[in-house]
Amino acid sequence: MRLSTYFLPTLKENPSEAQVVSHRLMLRSGMIRQTSAGIYIWLPLGLKVLRNIEQIVREEQNRAGAQELLMPTIQSAELWQESGRYDAYGKEMLRITDRHDREMLYGPTNEEMITDLFRNNLKSYKDVPKMLYHIQWKFRDEIRPRFGVMRGREFLMKDTYSFDLDEEGARESYNKMYVAYLRTFARLGMVAIPVKADTGAIGGDLSHEFQILAETGESTLYYDKAIEEFELHKLTGDIDADTISSLQGIYAMEEEKHDPATCPVAAEDLRTAKGIEVGHIFYFGDKYSKAMGAQVTGPDGKLVNVEMGSYGIGVSRLVGALIEANHDENGIIWPEAVAPFKVGLVNLRGKDEACTVASEALYQKLQNAGVEVLYDDREVGGGVKFANMDLIGLPWQAVIGPKGLEKGVIEFKNRRTGEREELSEDELLNRLT
Ligand code: ATP
Ligand code: MG
Ligand code: MG
Ligand code: MG
């Protein structure tokens, strides 16, 4: 992509409406624009990151055996009346009336719709277990939308639903998702701590929130420092049952679940921190299947309510959370796994014929090699180009200037470490492919 034609409206000044660094940087780097409170346009650069995260989430869901489908954003109120949540959900639900005066809503989540789909199509114990998911926009009329996409009103969520014959099966599905979440966040290079979360009226202990530590987080966490030894951001390989049970055995609680009176962790080992909830997994048994009549015939011919769980990841929230964890005073520092482009190519002297010829040639070669490259071919000074590249945070920068050309080298900069090297064109291509 050529920067001269790319739609990248960057801002020099810090926008006054943004309170947290990720929101500021997303606006400044031309990733998003707000259209109404908590509702955003994803500009080309932001959308690329969103899609990259979405793809990692998808791959890990597929790997865990979940099947992707796509449910609509608009739902009918009837299903929610059946489950009893139409009234209970309150003002966070955006309610809509269609031309025939039918009550509709913009889905905040999809338990009812998927339970309806299940009951209409699956009838036997042979049809389970099943895990189904979609990645779809949700709407919650949050009382205080803030922090940009981290607490939007419209946001992109991956939600999975599991269906099992009995509690034992449901626990297995739950642990499959637990592992998928560990792997997903590790692939994003994140430390997301699984903390036990409140299960409300349903009870039981099978609910975890995945929380990224950040001062601006809205959750409060209490955990045994032993959890740090797991190096969660490295858990991308096969995760065995022993690891799962020892990890789940470590004390790590969301505020509601933490009780100082019964907490077994010695005071000096107990950590408390603020967290951003990026994922939430929840086993809720027959809450919806019972209310909505989603039953299967067991091997003995008897009807049983199917056992369910739901598993969410805030895909759009993750974009902000990743920036909270990966930035410096000059801008964003994208992990390679989600970067919108792998390398930024800077032509330092657009008026210098040799520089332009060399830049154009390298741009072609990178594209031919399948490397995602953003080529700054604009007629502006080097300082502006460097500041812009640092702001948008591509992992690598390749700089072509007159001095380097004389020596036959290109400057190659690592955005995260700031380390610079001089490489020949071949060496540079080797490093990026
Ligand atoms: P929160 O406690 O932040 O309000 P929640 O517990 O209401 O989130 P869930 O119903 O568990 O959210 O939804 C699953 C995931 O969707 C959350 O873990 C979070 O990552 C994401 N999410 C929820 N609300 C929002 C929002 N308003 N904006 C962006 N992402 C959100
Ligand atoms: Mg909420
Ligand atoms: Mg929550
Ligand atoms: Mg939650």
List, as one string, the DSSP characters of 248-271: HHS-EEEGGG--TTT--S-GGGEE
Q: What is the pLDDT of residue 200?
A: 78
Verify whether ligand 1 is closer than 6 Å to residue 317 (CB atom). yes
Q: What is the pLDDT of residue 337?
A: 96
Which stretches in the chain have pLDDT values below 50?
A: none
**Counting ligands in written order, which one lies closest to the CA of residue 110?**
1
CB-count exposure of residue 7 (10 Å: 0-12, 13-18, 19+): exposed
| Residue 420: Cβ within 10 Å count | 11
- Residue with the smallest CA separation from ligand 1 atom 12 is 280
Verify whether ligand 1 is closer than 6 Å to residue 138 (CB atom). no
Check: complex ipTM more than 0.90: yes
As a whole number of angstroms, the distance between CA 144 and CA 385 comes to 37
Q: How far is the CA of 266 from the centre of ligand 2 (A)?
A: 32
Atom of ligand 1 nearest to the CA of 140: 27
| Residue 212: Cβ within 10 Å count | 24
Atom of ligand 1 nearest to the CA of 282: 11
Taking the C-alpha atoms of 62, 64, 65 and 68 in order, what is their torsion angle to the nearest 10 degrees? Answer: -40
Residues in the chain: 433
Q: Do the bridges between strand 103-106 and strand 94-97 make them parallel or antiparallel, or are there none, so unpaired?
A: antiparallel
Q: What is the pLDDT of residue 199?
A: 85
As a whole number of angstroms, the distance between CA 413 and CA 399 comes to 8
Q: How far is the CA of 128 from the centre of ligand 2 (A)?
A: 30
Nearest CA-CA partner of 366 in 399, 342, 334: 342
Question: 3-state DSSP call for residue 21?
Answer: helix
- Residue with the smallest CA separation from ligand 1 atom 2 is 277
Distances, alpha carbon 19 to alpha carbons 22, 23, 192, 350, in Å: 9, 7, 23, 37
Mutate to test the pocket of ligand 1, among 157, 195, 283 (most ligand atoms within 8 A of CB): 157
Q: What is the pLDDT of residue 97?
A: 98
Q: How far is the CA of 46 from the centre of ligand 3 (A)?
A: 25
Mutate to test the pocket of ligand 1, among 208, 280, 283, 310 (most ligand atoms within 8 A of CB): 280
Query: Omega into 335 within 30° of 0, i.e. cis?
Result: no
**Counting ligands in written order, which one lies closest to the CA of residue 135?**
1
As a whole number of angstroms, the distance between CA 131 and CA 170 comes to 10
Mutate to test the pocket of ligand 1, among 135, 151, 277 (most ligand atoms within 8 A of CB): 277
Beta bridge partners of 223: 252, 271
Q: Do the bridges between strand 307-314 and strand 154-164 make them parallel or antiparallel, or are there none, so unpaired?
A: antiparallel
Determine if residue 203 is left, alpha or beta; phi over 0 gives left, psi from -120 to 50 gives alpha, anything else beta.
left
Cβ atoms 110, 159 nearer than 8 A: yes
DSSP secondary-structure letter at 1? -
Verify whether ligand 1 is closer than 6 Å to residue 390 (CB atom). no
Verify whether ligand 1 is closer than 6 Å to residue 157 (CB atom). yes
Please give the backbone phi and psi of residue 64, each rounded to the nearest 5 degrees, phi first.
-80, -5
* Strands across the sheet containing 410-414: 373-376, 343-347, 396-400, 410-414, 420-423
Verify whether ligand 1 is closer than 6 Å to residue 108 (CB atom). no
Q: What is the pLDDT of residue 203?
A: 67
First to last CA, the chain: 17
Verify whether ligand 1 is closer than 6 Å to residue 183 (CB atom). no
- Tokens of residue 288, six digits: 């919806």
Verify whether ligand 1 is closer than 6 Å to residue 152 (CB atom). yes
Please give the backbone phi and psi of residue 409, each rounded to the nearest 5 degrees, phi first.
-130, 160
Nearest CA-CA partner of 161 in 148, 170, 153: 170
Q: Which residue has the tokens 């369910």?
A: 308
Report residues near ion ligand 4: CB below 5 Å: 280
- CA Rg value for the chain: 25
Verify whether ligand 1 is closer than 6 Å to residue 277 (CB atom). yes
Question: 3-state DSSP call for residue 408?
Answer: coil
As a whole number of angstroms, the distance between CA 156 and CA 135 comes to 7
Q: Which amino acid is at 310?
A: S
